[in-house]
Amino acid sequence: MSAALELFGSAWVPVFLLLGLTLYCRTRVRSWFVPSAFFGMYWFCFVVASLLAVDHRVPGLGMWALVSLVAAVQLGSMLGEIQGNHADEEEGSEEQPKAESNQATLAERAQLERVTRLRALPACALLTLGATAALVYFALYSLDLFRQSFSFLSLVQMAARWTLLRYDGFLDPWPLRIAAIWVYPPALVGGILFPLSRNVRDKSIAIASLLPGLLLTALSGGRAAFLVAGVCWLGGCWSARACCPGTRRGFFNLKSGLLLGAGALALLMLFAGVNSLRGAKDASDARDLSLEFNSGQIRNYMFGMPAAFAEWFDRDQRDSVHWGALTFPGPYALLGIRQRTLGTYTDSAPTVGLEGTNIFTIFRGLVQDFTLLGAFLFSGLWGFLGGRNYCQRSLHLAAVLGLSAYYAVALFSPLLCFFGFNSPIFAWVVAWFVLRGRNGNPIRFSFPERTR
């Protein structure tokens, strides 16, 4: 009896049950990018990395709660996928013959590429240039604020100065906030542009849309700037790629694996580089700057969050219901409902050695905002909308942006709610307006393949 209790008290048992559910989702649709399979595999990899990264036993009860919330998203996604396929079958019963349907698909594809070339490409280029200009203003304003002359060393030290100010409770002036939010719309539009481009020039412009986010991270010392921009880009890229013929089953291949590996390495170097910039305030010469690599700190930053949630849930610290204030702190602060606090949570959980984190994944906010039952319902509804959008055969721009939002929230879910920041909301609003068709009619994307 004690052996059975110890077995089910292990944090690894729910993780492998999550893997089983994820593989079932994958066999149903034969694609890793269908929302149910994507979310499960992403979280399985993340939780395994977290269990291996931390240096203490993770509470089994907390891990069961975390995996159950992930499974709620998957089950909601499966319901949405089933409903989407049923609606597709009813629509398909009245469709044209197959040959005519194929010709219509080619015509729709040509129209999509034409719309992309005429709207997404110039929009991405102009938004990237605008974001770069806004960052020039950000840098000049910051130099004046810190009473520094323009030099390479003063720019390098800017991240450390901003970090000290923010931890002292300093709030960015509104001109700087407005300048900073413009780095995210080009990332989203660039992500949509990338899979639909057919030449090096267009793809280069799409990739360049990430540079403003990287530059803002280097200037401000905030890792969130590039992470949010990267998530915007990937969400747009994967949702647009889902619209392309022949790509739904070919998302993961050798090329994609190499790109993901390179991206993970770049993210690792980004964390190490930002840590160095945040400690560069006292450097008197550029030669004194060095790239620090604290393995425990890096493991904590990148993989400590699932273990932190499990620790928090196991402590069973119950608070009053916050009704969305922790899940959507940015919009609540903007509306004056609740002032946002630095770091969202005042407590932390130990992870690696002396390191700890106050980031507890998206699910702690949902539990404290809506209770555990409400968190399950919210997670299921979010998954349902993602699965429903993915499995519709034909989508308007609003639904494509909705699918990109699903991927973005999923990618950011180990940290916080992605739309807890105001900047991503602004990015999606801008993308809607710049990608609308003539006379206010939205672009129509078509999904030629069904996901059975």
Query: How much of the chain, in percent, has pLDDT values that exceed 90?
Result: 23
Look at residue 244 in the predicted model and tell me its pLDDT: 61
- Paired residues of 445 in beta bridges: 395
Taking residues 219-230, report their average pLDDT. 84
Reported confidence tier of residue 111, pLDDT bands at 50, 70, 90: low
Q: Which residue's structure tokens are 């060095």? A: 290
pLDDT digit string (tens) for 301-337? 778 888 889 888 888 656 667 787 777 777 777 766 6
pLDDT digit string (tens) for 357-412? 878 899 988 998 888 899 999 999 999 998 888 876 555 677 778 889 999 999 99
Has residue 29 got a pLDDT over 80? no
User: Of the candidates 148, 167, 166, 168, which has an alpha carbon nearest to the alpha carbon of residue 158?
Assistant: 148
Look at residue 173 in the predicted model and tell me its pLDDT: 82
Whether residue 132 contacts residue 212, with contact meaning beta carbons closer than 8 Å, is answered with yes
| Residues 16, 13: Cα–Cα separation, whole Å | 5
pLDDT digit string (tens) for 156-171? 778 777 877 776 667 7
Look at residue 232 in the predicted model and tell me its pLDDT: 93
pLDDT digit string (tens) for 118-141? 778 888 999 999 999 999 999 998
* Higher-scoring residue by pLDDT: 290, 81: 81
| Residues 358, 349: Cα–Cα separation, whole Å | 7
User: Of the candidates 125, 93, 275, 340, which has an alpha carbon nearest to the alpha carbon of residue 212?
Assistant: 125
Taking residues 149-156, report their average pLDDT. 78
Look at residue 363 in the predicted model and tell me its pLDDT: 92
Question: Domain residue spans in the chain?
Answer: 2-446
Beta strands in 257-350 (DSSP E): 349-350
**Average pLDDT over the chain, rounded to whole?**
77
Taking residues 138-154, report their average pLDDT. 84
Whether residue 448 contacts residue 105, with contact meaning beta carbons closer than 8 Å, is answered with yes
- For 326-348, b/e burial (b = at least 16 CB within 10 A) is bbbbbbbbeeeebebeeebbeeb
* Eight-state DSSP code of residue 436: B
Reported confidence tier of residue 107, pLDDT bands at 50, 70, 90: low
- Paired residues of 356 in beta bridges: 350
| Residues 299, 308: Cα–Cα separation, whole Å | 13
